[in-house]
Amino acid sequence: MIRDDELLRARIHEALDGVQRPAPGLLRRCVAAAEHSSRAPRLRTVAIAAALAAVAAAVVVLTLLQHSLSHGTPGPVQSPTPAPQQVLYTVDAGNDVVALDAQSMRVLWRRSAGGAAPAAVTATGLLKLSADERTLWVLPISDPRGGTALRAFDARTGTPGVTIALSGGAVYSTFAVDPRSGDIAAVGQDGTRILVSLVDPRRAQVLSTTATRQLPPRAPLGSDLALDAVFTADGSRLYYSYGFANADRSGVDWADVSGAQLQPCRAQAAGAACAPGVGVGLALAGTTVVASDTGNPAQLVTLGPDGAVRRRVATGLVGDAEGGVVVSRDGTTATVLGACPNGGGVVRVDLAGGTAQPVATPVSGAAAAPETPCGVRATLLADGGIAVSRLDTGFAGANSPGTVAVVDATGRILRQATLPAGVVDLAATP
């Protein structure tokens, strides 16, 4: 029974204290957002004028087209095809989500997805676009090992959308979006098992959670995490990588997806991955898995749908470290990044021929120089270049500035943006 005001106050404090979380940097974000918004009225005026001009132009073009069609002759006017703006999205260890114009690196919008990460975190796949590119999904970090909820943002405006709490008792560190159904698979662990939660974002519901691998008992997890995940184009299979500290657990697993059911792959050794030792960088080229390994010398490995290794290509990058992998849209080449503490560098691999071509030479025996591209997370840009999150220590911290660099096909850093916290992941519109 609540007998007086002070008791009621104590109970309310007790209940809400359990919900309240610190929000470091909130004042800075609020002021920055307010200041940024002050440009909006002018932009709105320009936008309205531009829209009216566009409507007028469209009327003229349609009239001319109708005229030409009615006379059976080619029209004198061709519709212009302006280059669409490519947007680069980042999430940092402060759990800030930022949209940048990939050309100018200008901030388009910035939103908070949660409080800052409690410690330096490993860069994993925490940011993905929906197949229609309208929704940006983020897995905010609430624990050094990951997060417990998925958050949606309108990719164009940054307007926050649905928050989906993932199954209790586990921490999730990466996810993938099914390009066909839009369902999401979040991959995490609960201390003894790797878990995959299938989520229906339209109903904001967890459809199922499946334990896909039992980890070795009574052994510390170390720094092992689910690192990245990707669906096949038809959504029938989910690949995900796990590692990177303990070689006996690292590797790629997969699960066949049927509705809300998952059929995990079977490993040859208990507690091991189905494709052991690979997968810090993970991508698909059609049905072929393309993954970097953590061995020395560093290799790029391709796997068939049966999990068998098809090819190993020595990259020339310094091994024993994680590195990112990006596959070209036509699936013919893979770009492999060296980790910043291990000298960085970029190598392009012809997937059909199995040859590696150095694009940016790694620094020998030292950390990557400022002009040397490096990093773990990378994304493909429209012009064939890549955007990379540069993490000089290999980890992203909330209190250390982060850098996003745009690297062209020759390995040259074209432009960079500095963000208040280390960038954990990034994605770009095609």
Partner 1 sequence: MAARCVDVRERDVEAFEAALAPVIDKAHRLATAMLHDPAAAEDAVQEASIKAWRKLDHLHEGAELGPWFLGIVANECRTTLRSRWRRSVGPLGSDDAVAPGRTGDVERSRDMLDALAALRHKDRLVIALHYWLDMPVEEVAAVVGASPAATKARLYRAVERLRARLGEGRP
Tell me which residues touch partner 1 (CB under 8 A). Answer: 1-3, 5, 8-9, 11-21, 23, 26-27, 29-31, 33-35, 37-38, 95, 111-115, 140, 148-149, 151, 159-165, 168, 204-205
Tokens of 79: 């519709």
CB-wise, 16 or 83, nearer to partner 1? Answer: 16
**CA angle, 408 as apex, 347 and 400 as ends, to 5°?**
85
CB-wise, 37 or 418, nearer to partner 1? Answer: 37
CB-wise, 142 or 335, nearer to partner 1? Answer: 142
Distance, CA of 187 to CA of 130 (rounded, Å): 17
Return the SS3 of 77. coil
Minimum Å gap between C-beta 430 and partner 1 is 24
* Contacts by 332-336, CB closer than 8 A, 24 or more apart: 332/285, 334/283, 334/285, 334/290, 334/300, 335/359, 335/378, 335/386, 336/281, 336/292, 336/298, 336/300
CB-wise, 11 or 310, nearer to partner 1? Answer: 11
Minimum Å gap between C-beta 27 and partner 1 is 5
Minimum Å gap between C-beta 425 and partner 1 is 17
CB-wise, 102 or 166, nearer to partner 1? Answer: 166
Minimum Å gap between C-beta 162 and partner 1 is 5
CB-wise, 111 or 145, nearer to partner 1? Answer: 111
Minimum Å gap between C-beta 161 and partner 1 is 5
**CA angle, 130 as apex, 330 and 37 as ends, to 5°?**
115
Of 303, 299, 334, 301, nearest in space to 320 by CA: 299
CB-wise, 5 or 306, nearer to partner 1? Answer: 5
Minimum Å gap between C-beta 389 and partner 1 is 22
Judge whether 275 and 289 are in contact, CB under 8 Å. yes
Distance, CA of 415 to CA of 405 (rounded, Å): 6
Minimum Å gap between C-beta 237 and partner 1 is 27
Minimum Å gap between C-beta 366 and partner 1 is 39
- What does DSSP assign to residue 143? B
Return the SS3 of 366. coil
**DSSP3 helix / strand / coil % (the chain, rounded to 5):** 15, 40, 45
Minimum Å gap between C-beta 103 and partner 1 is 26
CB-wise, 164 or 300, nearer to partner 1? Answer: 164
Of 18, 54, 86, 84, nearest in space to 415 by CA: 86
Distance, CA of 43 to CA of 154 (rounded, Å): 19
Judge whether 374 and 338 are in contact, CB under 8 Å. yes
CB-wise, 26 or 59, nearer to partner 1? Answer: 26
Omega before residue 297 within 30° of 0, cis: yes
CB-wise, 164 or 336, nearer to partner 1? Answer: 164
Amino acid at the residue 170: A
Q: Checking phi first, is residue 307 left (phi over 0); if not, alpha (psi -120 to 50) or beta? A: left
Minimum Å gap between C-beta 233 and partner 1 is 28
Minimum Å gap between C-beta 31 and partner 1 is 5
CB-wise, 151 or 348, nearer to partner 1? Answer: 151
Helices of type H across 329-397: none
Q: How far is CA 298 from CA 291, 313, 321, 389, in A?
A: 11, 9, 8, 20
Distance, CA of 360 to CA of 414 (rounded, Å): 13
